[in-house]
Chain A
């Protein structure tokens, strides 16, 4: 199933993905609560990306004792005015793991279970927060806009791509 990924070779560590992510979800630019992370050692210029693999990983879902992490189908709308759309011949459906904040007790089991460090306690709401694929238009991809970079993208299997249903 499609999930966001960051190419460590292409990424320039501009952090636009984190900024857009935080504004979309938090209503303010606040990269410390972004749902994905690009880490760069400025001296060596080594870059690592950390993103949620959704159902391809699902360690958080398995670890949750309260069934608070549910799977939701997210139709991916990448038909906007950004270059990423060109890389999709059809519309793919994503499966996002979503935190049910009513059920989440902030026990922390998922924080320990996540291999990529991309599910955390929200500093104010005191529940887990994570990538939800932005209602189908991941803002991290939208704002990885430089045509020579395009480091943030959906990793997608060919089997997942299906034609856009005619309306």
Chain B
């Protein structure tokens, strides 16, 4: 057992930051601590922005994502470990082994604050252990614990309990399930059991480094300047901004509230994205979940507490856990033709325990059902068949039986069986639960997202469906809204980029003015809304440079989501299509408004204006 005592001789802490970056080399089983680069922190704040800057520096140019030299990054935000609600999130970053471009995946729970209390703003892991290993971190002491005959093979709840039993009762654990061990392309990272850094295959990357889990215990502190003044301001911030009716829907109902709204707009991915309306959605809506709701849970340092604990029964056995959240419901429910809430609960538990992302799982299983129904290949499962469906996550994670093939992922399966038109992904990342045919703005959202098919960079659904303030079946104003905030509350790429530096969760509908008030605690001056948005745009352009450097596919969308011929023929969005000409023009306009050239490369003038400190 190798033991490393981590210390940072030059370190000096700054309020909100610990000032330390922990670097772990799994090959050499060695650790080192270096000071956090405060120049970068000043430019990029923390979270997403600081992650991108560290990735730019530490990802070897053109590295094979599967090679030991490809680092895995764990980055916190400046407010993790304080009592500012929703900002306890951790961002896990890497050059994704699935997409080959950047992937920043966010997860709540309590891991990021514990990292800060242990003394680290960031952890950067390179190399590959000779054998399966668990890394434990207790303040400055880092240990490499052999895991081959003990922890390897454990499901996610088991490894977390093992860390509490064997390492520290207060251990916070970031782990892979068996899916990460078999290098499944959509293996996720788990913490606090139900919290997942889901998208982009970070679980597979961690598995490729032979790391089963990283367990951390910290007994140190996070300082914030004047403690009494900070407390007084936080009391006000929660009363005025956080615990408002606008945010407390997340506590009272949670994301299942989206089911009826999205379905009603004809934007529900149904039966492998062949329809936009699912007749059985009422069995999976907010009302249905409230009937089986047993408890509320919160992430660390969050007063909203959006986590719903549900209990169901599958074959006489209790299925209990947090979630599913909307995306899981959409892709694991309607997209697989499943309207049985018990089956969906079981599917969610299986994905959680084996360590699989539910969006990608629901997409690949929906595809397998579609291919079976179409006679392209018999995967032994058809739409709506709950009994087989709940067994698939385990088979996929173990690469057993039909699971061995499904573990190829959506794109490769479609290539193999000659049906590329069924491949519902962007840049090889499967899309979440909003069909752009029912919410046109999501087209540009998916196509231009910095990590592939993702709804979290810009979320036109908020205006197109939730508030209904903007018509859904038009591209007018959608490109502008995707890039930068405009009324009423379009969540844009530039704003989400500064928000994820924070790292504020989407369940606090924070605005630039509120972000500025929070950042005043860091910068000791008031930032204007324009400055806030400029930081976001800086981060977004840095991400674009990274993707261009590493080689990114064209910004595009599965054809059927925009072409006139493939408009839905029934349901609330019947007949709606963006159309090829409008789609091409929208992309062109996106580049133009971004200040990028026709190939999507940021111009020197734009990078200079934004203060981006690197160049291709």
Which A residues are within 8 Å of any B CB, using their own CB? 12-16, 19-20, 22-24, 26-33, 40, 42-43, 45, 80-82, 123, 139, 142-143, 145-149
Taking a contact as CB atoms under 8 Å apart, the answer to whether A15 and B243 are in contact is no
Smallest CB gap from A15: residue in B:
B300
In the bound complex, CA of A22 to CA of B218 (Å): 14
In the bound complex, CA of A32 to CA of B299 (Å): 17
Taking a contact as CB atoms under 8 Å apart, the answer to whether B235 and A19 are in contact is no
Taking a contact as CB atoms under 8 Å apart, the answer to whether B238 and A145 are in contact is yes
Q: In chain B, residues 195-239, which have Cβ atoms closer than 8 Å to a Cβ of chain A?
A: 218-224, 227-228, 230-231, 234-236, 238-239
Q: Is B304 an interface residue (CB 8 A)?
A: yes
Q: In chain B, residues 485-502, which have Cβ atoms closer than 8 Å to a Cβ of chain A?
A: none
Smallest CB–CB gap between A37 and chain B, Å?
10
Smallest CB–CB gap between A116 and chain B, Å?
16
Which B residues are within 8 Å of any A CB, using their own CB? 81-83, 85, 109-110, 117, 157, 160-161, 192-194, 218-224, 227-228, 230-231, 234-236, 238-239, 243, 248, 251-252, 295-305, 307, 309, 322
Taking a contact as CB atoms under 8 Å apart, the answer to whether A146 and B230 are in contact is no
Given contacts A27-B223, A143-B303, 9 further A-B contacts (CB under 8 A): A12-B298, A16-B301, A27-B227, A28-B221, A29-B81, A30-B117, A30-B219, A143-B238, A146-B248
Taking a contact as CB atoms under 8 Å apart, the answer to whether A146 and B304 are in contact is yes
Smallest CB–CB gap between B139 and chain A, Å?
10
Smallest CB–CB gap between B196 and chain A, Å?
13
Q: Please, which residues of chain A bring their CB within 8 A of the CB of B157?
A: 43
Smallest CB gap from B191: residue in A:
A42
Taking a contact as CB atoms under 8 Å apart, the answer to whether B300 and A28 are in contact is no
In the bound complex, CA of A149 to CA of B228 (Å): 24
Q: Please, which residues of chain A bring their CB within 8 A of the CB of B303?
A: 14, 16, 143, 145-146, 149
Taking a contact as CB atoms under 8 Å apart, the answer to whether B305 and A19 are in contact is no
Shortest beta-carbon contacts, A-B, top 10: A14-B298, A30-B221, A28-B221, A12-B298, A42-B192, A12-B305, A32-B219, A19-B83, A29-B222, A43-B193
26 contacts between A and B (CB under 8 A): A12-B296, A13-B298, A14-B298, A14-B303, A15-B110, A16-B303, A19-B82, A20-B231, A23-B227, A24-B228, A27-B227, A28-B222, A29-B221, A29-B222, A30-B220, A30-B221, A30-B222, A33-B219, A42-B160, A45-B322, A82-B235, A123-B219, A145-B235, A145-B239, A146-B305, A149-B303
Cβ-neighbour of A23 out of B224, B295, B299, B309 (below 8 A):
B224
Q: Please, which residues of chain B bring their CB within 8 A of the CB of A142?
A: 235
Taking a contact as CB atoms under 8 Å apart, the answer to whether B305 and A24 are in contact is no
Taking a contact as CB atoms under 8 Å apart, the answer to whether A24 and B117 are in contact is no
Smallest CB gap from A37: residue in B:
B170
Known: A12-B297, A139-B231, A146-B305. A29 touches B161 (CB 8 A): no
In the bound complex, CA of A20 to CA of B303 (Å): 12
Smallest CB–CB gap between A21 and chain B, Å?
10
Taking a contact as CB atoms under 8 Å apart, the answer to whether B160 and A23 are in contact is no
Q: Please, which residues of chain B bring their CB within 8 A of the CB of A43?
A: 157, 160-161, 193
Smallest CB–CB gap between B307 and chain A, Å?
8
In the bound complex, CA of A81 to CA of B239 (Å): 9
Q: Please, which residues of chain B bring their CB within 8 A of the CB of A30?
A: 117, 219-222
Taking a contact as CB atoms under 8 Å apart, the answer to whether A148 and B221 are in contact is no
Smallest CB gap from A31: residue in B:
B117
Smallest CB–CB gap between A30 and chain B, Å?
4
In the bound complex, CA of A121 to CA of B194 (Å): 34
Known: A14-B299, A14-B301, A23-B83. A148 touches B251 (CB 8 A): yes
Smallest CB–CB gap between A96 and chain B, Å?
19
Q: Please, which residues of chain A bring their CB within 8 A of the CB of B222?
A: 28-30
Q: Please, which residues of chain B bring their CB within 8 A of the CB of A147?
A: 243, 248
Smallest CB gap from A26: residue in B:
B221
Which label, helix, strand, loop or mixed, suits the secondary structure of the A interface?
A: loop
Taking a contact as CB atoms under 8 Å apart, the answer to whether A22 and B221 are in contact is yes
Taking a contact as CB atoms under 8 Å apart, the answer to whether B219 and A15 are in contact is no
In the bound complex, CA of A14 to CA of B296 (Å): 11
In the bound complex, CA of A149 to CA of B109 (Å): 18
Q: Please, which residues of chain A bring their CB within 8 A of the CB of B230?
A: 23
Smallest CB gap from A139: residue in B:
B231
In the bound complex, CA of A15 to CA of B297 (Å): 11
In the bound complex, CA of A14 to CA of B157 (Å): 20
Smallest CB–CB gap between A79 and chain B, Å?
14
In the bound complex, CA of A80 to CA of B251 (Å): 24
Q: Please, which residues of chain A bring their CB within 8 A of the CB of B117?
A: 30-32
Q: Please, which residues of chain A bring their CB within 8 A of the CB of B218?
A: 32
In the bound complex, CA of A42 to CA of B352 (Å): 13
Q: Please, which residues of chain A bring their CB within 8 A of the CB of B252?
A: 148
In the bound complex, CA of A142 to CA of B237 (Å): 13
Cβ-neighbour of B301 out of A15, A123, A149 (below 8 A):
A15
Smallest CB gap from A42: residue in B:
B192
Smallest CB–CB gap between A7 and chain B, Å?
12
In the bound complex, CA of A43 to CA of B252 (Å): 22
Taking a contact as CB atoms under 8 Å apart, the answer to whether B305 and A149 are in contact is yes
In the bound complex, CA of A28 to CA of B230 (Å): 10
Known: A13-B297, A31-B117. A143 touches B234 (CB 8 A): yes
Q: Please, which residues of chain A bring their CB within 8 A of the CB of B219?
A: 30, 32-33, 123
Taking a contact as CB atoms under 8 Å apart, the answer to whether A28 and B227 are in contact is yes
Q: Please, which residues of chain B bring their CB within 8 A of the CB of A32?
A: 117, 218-220
Q: Which of B82, B219, B230, B297 has the most CB of A within 10 A?
A: B297
Cβ-neighbour of A45 out of B231, B239, B297, B299 (below 8 A):
B297
Taking a contact as CB atoms under 8 Å apart, the answer to whether B301 and A19 are in contact is yes
Q: Please, which residues of chain B bring their CB within 8 A of the CB of A148?
A: 248, 251-252, 296, 305
Taking a contact as CB atoms under 8 Å apart, the answer to whether B243 and A146 are in contact is yes
Known: A143-B235, A145-B235, A146-B305. A42 touches B109 (CB 8 A): yes
Smallest CB–CB gap between B252 and chain A, Å?
7
Q: Please, which residues of chain A bring their CB within 8 A of the CB of B305?
A: 12, 14, 146, 148-149
In the bound complex, CA of A104 to CA of B40 (Å): 46
Q: Please, which residues of chain B bring their CB within 8 A of the CB of A28?
A: 221-224, 227
In the bound complex, CA of A80 to CA of B309 (Å): 33
Q: Please, which residues of chain B bring their CB within 8 A of the CB of A149?
A: 251, 296, 303, 305
Smallest CB–CB gap between A152 and chain B, Å?
11
Q: Please, which residues of chain A bring their CB within 8 A of the CB of B83?
A: 16, 19-20, 23, 29, 143
Q: Please, which residues of chain A bring their CB within 8 A of the CB of B298?
A: 12-14
Smallest CB–CB gap between A61 and chain B, Å?
27
Q: Please, which residues of chain A bring their CB within 8 A of the CB of B322?
A: 45
In the bound complex, CA of A91 to CA of B302 (Å): 29
Taking a contact as CB atoms under 8 Å apart, the answer to whether B231 and A24 are in contact is yes
Taking a contact as CB atoms under 8 Å apart, the answer to whether A24 and B227 are in contact is yes
Smallest CB–CB gap between A47 and chain B, Å?
9
Cβ-neighbour of B235 out of A14, A31, A81, A123 (below 8 A):
A81
In the bound complex, CA of A149 to CA of B81 (Å): 21
Cβ-neighbour of B309 out of A20, A22, A45, A81 (below 8 A):
A45
Smallest CB gap from A22: residue in B:
B221
